[in-house]
Structure 1
Amino acid sequence: MLRIDGITRAFGDVTALDGVSLEIGQGEFFALLGPSGCGKTTLLRILAGFENPDAGSVTLDGADLLSLAPNKRPINLMFQSYALFPHMSVAKNVAYGLERENLPRAEVKQRVGEVLETVGLSAQAGRKPQQLSGGQRQRVALARAIVKRPRLLLLDEPLSALDKKVRADMQLELKRLQTEVGITFVVVTHDQEEAMSLADRIAVFDSGTVRQVDAPVELYERPRSRFVADFVGANNLFEGTAGGTGPLKTEDFGDLPCTAVEDLPDDSTALLAVRPEKVALREEDGLLTGTVLDVSFYGGVSHISVTVPGRDKPVLVAVQGASGVQVGAEVGLHWEEQDAVLLPVTQ
């Protein structure tokens, strides 16, 4: 539905976007994920019409989008701050865009009623924004965005103002609403868990470029670059040399088992990435041996840091539930070949 081709945007000496190309399908929940300053919000503003690219094109259903004024685009943007009118009721906030289009009063009332029911705010229709919780204000902003039935809804860090529990509830709510109303959602976030839980596909941004576009599971389990492996979730990274599909040869730890995302030239510098939950603790010797530095309990998961001689950074291990291992214990670390990914170190 949406094709972004070679979009470039610079602000003085800073290149915010460098030849970004993406394709987003009808009804897809698509996430732009990356650290602050990587260009994802700039791209969102270009789609909304608040920024003009220096080069490139954007088409929606095959038609040029960049030539249209912001108010003529079948797109709505939900701001990070929600930007609700404080002097208007919930119903008036939601109705504002429809009233500006001079739609019949009866149609406006019907559509506002339907969308407030969809987001579960019918009982709060007469309240002002300051009388609502953060989660409720977020729903008002969402209702105001979808009531105009846009082809594309852009969301800029939509859940960042909410506390952890409300954010988890609203993630489910956003996904439910997106499925129910059938609108294509594009969400900007720096929160990896948020992107992984919401999106059908994720584009990982770094310094104005797209490093990888994939479904959440593929992105997590098969990263294709050092940046993606290091940014998306926790990872234990080992450098060495490899040829073909592995193993990784290291001076300090010998050969470490892994599977490659692509065949590597013989003796090329390579990187092994293994997730904490893929590393098993053993009482006997494993691939590596070390000393338990710290044990942190997070309810459903325990994180165990293990110092390994010859490695500057501790190896992180994640186990289900409470762990019986004690700080100072000598342990072995092991993982299976298919659970570690081999990457070219240059990416």
Structure 2
Amino acid sequence: MLKIDGITRRFGDVTALDDVSLEIGQGEFFALLGPSGCGKTTLLRIIAGFETPDGGTVTLDGEDLLGRQPNRRPISLMFQSYALFPHMTVAKNVAYGLEREKLPRQEIKKRVGEVLETVGLSAHGDRKPAQLSGGQRQRVALARSIVKRPRLLLLDEPLSALDKKVRADMQLELKRLQNEVGITFVVVTHDQEEAMSLADRIAVFEHGHVRQVDEPVALYERPRTPFVADFVGANNLFEGTTGAGALLTEDFGPLPGTPLDGLEEGAKALLGVRPEKIRLVEAGTVAGGLKGAVLDVSFYGGVSHISVDVPGHVRPVLVAVQGASGVQPGAEVDLSWEAPDAVIIPGAR
């Protein structure tokens, strides 16, 4: 549906986007993920029409999008700040875009009523934004964005202003709403959990480049670059060279892992193993593997995070176990994992 081909955007000496190409399908929930300053919001603004690229094309259903004025594009953009009119009621905020298009009054009333019911705000139509909670204001902004029935809805950090509990609720609400209305969503976020829980596919950005596009599970379990392995979720990374079913390291010997396809033996590589894939047992229980001392144990309700100091490794190794952990700081432990649970990728940090 949306094809972005070779988009480049420079601001003076800074290249915000460097030859970015993406394809986004009809009805897809697509996330642009990356740290601040990586170019994801610039791309969103180009799609919306607020920025003009220095090169490349953007087409929607095969038609050139860049040659159309922002108000002539079948696109809605939901801002990070929501940008609601404080002097208007909820219903008036939602109806504003339709009124500007001079739709019949009965049509406006019908569509506003339908969309307020969809977002669960039918009883709040007469309220002003100041009388609503953060989550309710976010729903009003969503309702205003979808009431015009755009082909594409762009969301710029839509949940960043909400507290953690409301954010979790609204993640579910966004996904439900997207499935219900059938609009293609493109969301910009720097929050990995948000992207993983919402999106059908994710594009990871770094310094204006797309490093990987994949479904959330594949992105998490099989990152293809050192940046993606380090940025998406918690990961323990070890440097070495590729061996047969293992990463060969100077300090720890062979560490079990599964190399990505096409990775030659003897090449410089990184092994990434997720905290929940590591087994932690008393010292002396496992022959070989990693050995260390527990630095800290943090309990997060459903899971405990254990930091282990492994001599020769730059960072503490993070281990995640279900529930409360019986291990105490200072305990000597062995660490191990299975080869299929760790991925070996090309390059080094």
Q: What is the CA distance between 1:54 and its match in structure 2?
A: 0.2
Structure-2 residue corresponding to 1:288: 290
Q: What is the CA distance between 1:263 and its match in structure 2?
A: 2.9
Q: What is the CA distance between 1:346 and its match in structure 2?
A: 5.2
Structure-2 residue corresponding to 1:310: 312
8 A Cα contact 1:156 1:189, kept in partner: yes
Q: What is the CA distance between 1:176 and its match in structure 2?
A: 0.3
Q: Tell me the alpha carbon deviations over residues 188-219 of structure 1, each in whole angstroms, 9 at most, x when there is no partner.
A: 00000000000000000000000000000000
Question: How many residues end up aligned between the 2 structures?
Answer: 346
Q: What is the CA distance between 1:266 and its match in structure 2?
A: 3.1
Q: Tell me the alpha carbon deviations over residues 39-87 of structure 1, each in whole angstroms, 9 at most, x when there is no partner.
A: 0000000000000000000000000000000000000000000000000
Structure-2 residue corresponding to 1:71: 71
Structure-2 residue corresponding to 1:237: 237
Note if 1:263 corresponds to 2:265: no
Task: Read off the aligned partner of 1:156 and give its amino acid letter.
Answer: D
- Distance in 1 between residues matched to 2:333 and 2:348, nearest whole Å: 32
Q: Tell me the alpha carbon deviations over residues 20-57 of structure 1, each in whole angstroms, 9 at most, x when there is no partner.
A: 00000000000000000000000000000000000000
Q: Tell me the alpha carbon deviations over residues 121-171 of structure 1, each in whole angstroms, 9 at most, x when there is no partner.
A: 011100000000000000000000000000000000000000000000000
Structure-1 residue corresponding to 2:151: 151
Q: Aligned runs of 1:103-182 on 2, under 5 Å? A: 103-182=103-182
Task: Read off the aligned partner of 1:307 and give its amino acid letter.
Answer: D
Q: Tell me the alpha carbon deviations over residues 254-278 of structure 1, each in whole angstroms, 9 at most, x when there is no partner.
A: 1111001123233211100000000
Task: Read off the aligned partner of 1:121 and give its amino acid letter.
Answer: L
- Distance in 1 between residues matched to 2:9 and 2:109, nearest whole Å: 41
8 A Cα contact 1:285 1:331, kept in partner: no
- Distance in 1 between residues matched to 2:215 and 2:193, nearest whole Å: 13
Structure-2 residue corresponding to 1:80: 80
Q: What is the CA distance between 1:345 and its match in structure 2?
A: 1.1
Task: Read off the aligned partner of 2:275 and give its amino acid letter.
Answer: P
Residue 176 of structure 1 aligns to a residue whose secondary structure is helix
Structure-2 residue corresponding to 1:57: 57
8 A Cα contact 2:15 2:208, kept in partner: yes
Note if 1:341 corresponds to 2:343: yes
Note if 1:30 corresponds to 2:26: no
- Distance in 1 between residues matched to 2:149 and 2:266, nearest whole Å: 56
Task: Read off the aligned partner of 1:312 and give its amino acid letter.
Answer: V
Identity across matched positions, percent: 80
- Distance in 2 between residues matched to 1:206 and 1:346, nearest whole Å: 16
- Distance in 1 between residues matched to 2:267 and 2:194, nearest whole Å: 35
Structure-2 residue corresponding to 1:322: 324
Q: Tell me the alpha carbon deviations over residues 283-304 of structure 1, each in whole angstroms, 9 at most, x when there is no partner.
A: 2135111100100000000000
Structure-2 residue corresponding to 1:18: 18
- Distance in 2 between residues matched to 1:154 and 1:261, nearest whole Å: 34
8 A Cα contact 2:245 2:339, kept in partner: no
- Distance in 1 between residues matched to 2:170 and 2:303, nearest whole Å: 23
- Distance in 1 between residues matched to 2:159 and 2:145, nearest whole Å: 15
8 A Cα contact 1:90 1:129, kept in partner: yes
Structure-2 residue corresponding to 1:8: 8
8 A Cα contact 2:270 2:348, kept in partner: no
8 A Cα contact 2:3 2:22, kept in partner: yes
- Distance in 1 between residues matched to 2:262 and 2:180, nearest whole Å: 43
**Stretches of structure 1 lacking an aligned partner (at least 5 in a row):** none
Structure-1 residue corresponding to 2:245: 246
TM-aligned CA distance change 1:338 to 1:36, over 3 Å: same
Note if 1:42 corresponds to 2:42: yes
Q: TM-score of the superposition, structure 2-length normalised?
A: 0.98
Q: Tell me the alpha carbon deviations over residues 292-344 of structure 1, each in whole angstroms, 9 at most, x when there is no partner.
A: 01000000000000011111211100000000001111111010000000010
Task: Read off the aligned partner of 1:247 and give its amino acid letter.
Answer: A
Note if 1:275 corresponds to 2:274: yes
